[in-house]
Amino acid sequence: MAVLTAAQQCQLDRIRIVMVNTSHPGNIGAAARAMKNMGLRRLVLVDPATALGDEAYRRSAGAEAILSEAMIVNTLAEGLAGCAWVAGTSARLRSVQWPVHLPRECAEIARKKSAQGDVAIVFGRERVGLTNAELELCNALVHIPTDPDYSSLNVAAAVQVLCYELRLAQLDNAQPLASSSKKHRDDVPADSELMQGMYQHLYQTLEDVKFFGTHNPEVVMRRLKGLFNRAQTTVHEVAILRGIFSAAQGRKAKRSRITKREP
């Protein structure tokens, strides 16, 4: 029997399954069942289209506790708060130029990142998946390689595939990874909240110094976010970058005051 050690289970418990704006409660119940099958416990529901009811609990088939303890939030940013690494599922290639992984690759990265903090795997709406704006909150994309002649995959089935790979990644690695030392906590990857705060600061700085000009701010910011995601920006690096942004904003303000005093 494939049984996880307590330490391996602890790492799985750092992984969130995040479902965005799910329209059918039965899919949420089936996803909870898939999670319980594979030992995952943390379900986050972002703005579900319908309240959890009898159908969700019936389809969960014994995973009622996962539904009862699910975190329900209004926005994806809330659901990702505190995460060190986030992968968004995508059925097709997007204009968002993030790294794209197969489920097995994604699971192994998630296993390693879970030593540094919480990890999230995000699943989009049944019909249209995740928006580009939601994918921009992710560090990477995960693509399930279905038959191109029939690529539509039920969201609960997609959850099952990823949960299986997440469990397999733990079973294939007998020695769990050590958690990051508190002494070096500034060197761990910045979580989603820190990164979003940095992006807002960067956008405002670029506006203040009139960088955008004729450039489309949305396209520029998307490319910059891709750059920082690939770099796995750390907490310390975010602090340095925000210091640079503040300095740039301060110098601009100082030049403006000097210009106004000139006759």
Tell me what the mean pLDDT of segment 112-128 comes to. Answer: 92
Tell me what the mean pLDDT of segment 16-24 comes to. Answer: 96
- Taking 50 as the threshold, does the pLDDT of residue 138 lie above it? yes
- Taking 50 as the threshold, does the pLDDT of residue 100 lie above it? yes
Sequence-distant (6+) residues with CB within 8 A of 68 are none
In this chain, the answer to whether the domains covering 6-171 and 182-261 adopt an identical fold is no
247 and 241 Cβ atoms separated by less than 8 Å: no
* Structure confidence at residue 92 (pLDDT): 64
Give the CATH fold of the 6-171 domain: Alpha/beta knot (3.40.1280)
- Taking 80 as the threshold, does the pLDDT of residue 211 lie above it? yes
Which ranges of the chain does DSSP label H, i.e. alpha helix? 6-12, 25-38, 54-60, 64-68, 76-79, 103-113, 132-135, 155-171, 192-208, 217-231, 235-261
Q: What residue ranges do the domains of the chain occupy? A: 6-171, 182-261
Q: How far is CA 70 from CA 38, 113, 138, in A?
A: 17, 22, 21
Q: How far is CA 253 from CA 40, 164, 228, 258, in A?
A: 51, 54, 27, 9
* Structure confidence at residue 261 (pLDDT): 52
* Structure confidence at residue 23 (pLDDT): 93
Give the CATH fold of the 182-261 domain: Helicase, Ruva Protein; domain 3 (1.10.8)
Q: How far is CA 202 from CA 34, 136, 211, in A?
A: 40, 15, 11
d(CA 71, CA 73): 6
pLDDT band at residue 183 under the 50/70/90 scheme? very low
pLDDT band at residue 258 under the 50/70/90 scheme? very low
